[in-house]
Structure 1
Amino acid sequence: MKAMLLAAGKGERMRPLTLHTPKPLLRVAGKPLLQWHIEALAAAGIHELVINHAWLGEQLEAHFGTGEELGVRISWSAEGQPLETAGGILKALPLLGDAPFLLVNGDVWTDIDFATLTLAKGQLAQLVLVDNPPHKDAGDFCLHGGRVGNPLPGQSALTYSGIAVLDPRLFAGLVPGSAPLAPLLRAAAERGLVGGQRHAGRWMDIGTPERLAEANLLAGGG
């Protein structure tokens, strides 16, 4: 299985840290955020990676190169402008191929074992869900018996972690350009084609300098 790491965001909530440094290069315990994922993927036996980028992307390519030093092979998908998640994935599909692939948001920090993620036959997506973090009032999806659904008003839900296994067929009919991922997942969930699992370990959305500092403490970086 190949993996795609999303690294094209501008990180505006992280300013001024991201004015001259792309968010995936910000360090947690002395290590670039993106490197945590790369090393975890390699440990899980996933060595073929696709990484998209836009804002200051040349810094990412210069830092990680082909990935050889970390035991992986990186193909880069450069975007002239951010295409949002689904648009960026669609652009990168020629590099990912026709088989299901692992998707990882580059701005989360987690201890999940990527080797545990699989896609059931006939499904279009397998989502990793987590308990709602303190900064988020409501969740994204319901999880019942391994099946992901869209919550009804007032129904409790979990947060999508930004980690999933996706089938390229999920993007059938999508027009090239900027497009979010959530509507595709919700439509597939309505059709009963999305599975899920809850991760109870460490997970953080590194969206602010405060959360970056918290991740550093949790990772032992002081």
Structure 2
Amino acid sequence: MVLAAGRGERMRPLTDTTPKPLLEVRGKPLMQWPMEALAAGGFTELVLNTAWLGDRISGHFGLKPLLGGEVALSISYSDEARDFGGALETAGGIVRALPLLGDPFWVAAGDVFAPGFVFTQAAVERFVAGGKLAHLWLVPNPAHNPKGDFGLSAEGLALNTPDGARHTFSTIGLYRAALFAPPYCAIPGGNPGGIKAPLAPILRAAMDNGLVSAELYTGPWTDVGTPERLAELNRPS
């Protein structure tokens, strides 16, 4: 699943007429980078959730785009604006899309640039064998998030750490559907009521039970949250 429903308020006025994930980075839409990386890893069935200017995204990619000139993707859309009038936040959007997803499944944000990240079947196999409900990739804290999000134990567990060393959540993760059911998530399956809910509280509850693993990713990574960060990525080297 590639998350693409956000309004991109901090990117205005760029996002007044273009959905943030379609803003170009180095010659192609920002969200196309994780889509191509997933396809390169053999994950060719994608779900895109959309809301703000979502018809621009579905109109651009269609149902079976050939990205990178080689691998054809099969795309399903979870149109939160059509169904509920707006975005459902991360957890609400994931639960809404669960009927379209396998188990386990990847989630990556369409507004994060991580050109070196590799999605592998081996990572999925390790995740399944580990018996956790989620596996997160954390990154060193950027200047705009100096306090980080989650801790990381020596044993590879993500920690709901109020104090001490923390890393930033990259937005890239592997998940089991069971994370989005009681006792961690109270949203009914498929989210028929369009409940808006963030992901972090669900992850923190599972972390408290030792059910979220993690690792540190140190490759290039940018949360493209401002026009300045977008311009920096597109500045000629």
Provide TM-score, normalisation by structure 2. 0.87
- Give the match for residue 179 of structure 1: 197
**SS across alignment from 2:228:** helix
2:161 maps to: 151
Q: Which residue of 2 aligns with 1:139?
A: 148
Q: Secondary structure at the match of 2:76?
A: strand
- Give the aligned partner of residue 105 of structure 1: 109
> Which of 174, 199, 202 is the aligned partner of 1:165?
174
* Corresponding residue SS for 2:66: helix
Whole-angstrom CA distance in 1 between matches of 2:101 and 2:234:
32
Please state if 1:63 is matched with 2:63. no
Correspondence for 1:90: 95
C-alpha distance in 1 between matches for 2:57 and 2:220: 25
Larger mean Cα displacement after TM superposition, 29-38 or 170-179: 170-179
Q: Deviations over 1:50-78 (max 9, x none)?
A: 00000000000000001332211100000
1:125 — aligned with what? 134
State the 1:86 CA deviation: 0.2
How many residue pairs align between the two structures? 214
1:74 aligns with 2:75: yes
Instruction: Provide the C-alpha distance between the structure 1 equivalents of 2:207 and 2:174, rounded to a whole number of angstroms.
Output: 14
Which residue does the alignment assign to 2:208?
A: 190
State the alpha-carbon separation in 1 of the partners of residues 162 and 226 from structure 2: 30
| Inter-partner Cα distance in structure 1 for 2:177 and 2:133 | 8
Q: Distance in 2 between matches of 1:146 and 1:137?
A: 21
CA distance in 1, matches of 2:159, 2:28: 36
What displacement does 1:158 show?
0.3
Match of 1:26 among 16, 23, 33: 23
Q: Aligned partners of 1:13 and 1:27: how far apart in 2?
A: 16
Secondary structure of 1:117's counterpart equals helix
Corresponding letter in the other structure for 1:200? T
Task: For residue 18 of structure 1, give the secondary structure of its aligned residue in structure 2.
Answer: helix
In structure 2, stretches of 5+ residues that fail to align are none
- Aligned residue for 2:16, secondary structure, equals coil
Alpha-carbon distance, 1:117 to partner? 3.2
RMSD over aligned CA atoms reads 1.2
| Equivalent position amino acid for 1:46 in 2 | F
Tell me which residue corresponds to 2:119.
114
SS of 2:158's partner is: strand
**Deviation for aligned residue 1:20:** 0.4
Corresponding residue for 1:214? 232
CA distance in 1, matches of 2:117, 2:137: 9
CA distance in 2, matches of 1:38, 1:56: 19
Shift of 1:156: 1.1
Runs of 5+ consecutive residues of structure 1 not aligned to the other structure: none
> Following the alignment from structure 2 to structure 1, what is the Cα–Cα distance between the partners of residues 91 and 19?
20
Q: Distance in 2 between matches of 1:182 and 1:215?
A: 27
